[in-house]
């Protein structure tokens, strides 16, 4: 798992550049043969942790980018709750990741491409709209959507 802690020299970044970090993690995951998805946890404009998918490498079906980034951020902060943190991810989270985001109490979720088949935020089960959902982050879809979708499409086209 890659844990990129930004030093003060790198300073604060805007939402677009946070998605650039997530896209870089996704490209690195794709280069490793993983599905190219990247995630970044941010607090007060500073990257706390970032990760790309690693289920094949780690032989771990839970090693999605979001889960790895959440685990790393929780370790950095010394708290299982990421109160005040935002998560940027290149693809709409699946049910497992959407639940982890809720349990971690992430403040805002920004995602790139929608996932009509496997997504659980604005597609599929729509976890955060469920009355049994304990915490629903603010959700902003479509961030760097074209770049995120193109990365995934190109990855799978090359595999066919």
Is 94 annotated to bind a ligand? Reply is yes
Is 85 annotated to bind a ligand? Reply is no
CA distance 104 to 81: 5
**Known active-site residue 57:** no
CA distance 127 to 113: 17
Distances (CA, A) of 14 to 22, 28, 155: 13, 21, 27
In the set 25, 34, 66, 92, the catalytic residue is 66
Q: Give, as one character, the DSSP assignment of residue 107.
A: S
CB atoms within 10 A of CB 141: 16
Query: What residues pair up with 8 in beta bridges, in sequence order?
Result: none
Q: DSSP H helical segments within 59-144, as ranges?
A: 65-77, 95-103
Active site residues: 66
**Per the annotation, where are the binding residues for Zn(2+)?**
64, 94, 97
């Amino acid at each position: 798992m890659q844990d990129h802690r930004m030093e003060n020299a790198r300073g604060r970044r805007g939402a677009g550049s946070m998605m650039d970090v997530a896209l870089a993690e996704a490209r690195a995951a794709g280069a490793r043969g993983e599905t190219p998805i990247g995630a970044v946890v941010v607090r007060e404009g500073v990257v706390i942790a970032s990760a790309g998918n690693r289920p094949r490498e780690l032989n771990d079906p839970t090693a999605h980018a979001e889960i790895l980034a959440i685990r790393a951020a929780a370790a950095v902060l010394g708290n299982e709750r990421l109160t005040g943190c935002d998560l940027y991810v290149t693809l709409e989270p699946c049910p497992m990741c959407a639940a982890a985001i809720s349990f971690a109490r992430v403040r805002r979720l920004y995602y790139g491409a929608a996932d009509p088949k496997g997504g659980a935020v604005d597609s599929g089960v729509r976890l955060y709209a469920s009355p049994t959902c304990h915490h629903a982050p603010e959700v902003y879809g479509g961030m760097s959507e074209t770049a995120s979708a193109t990365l995934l499409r190109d990855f799978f086209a090359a595999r066919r």
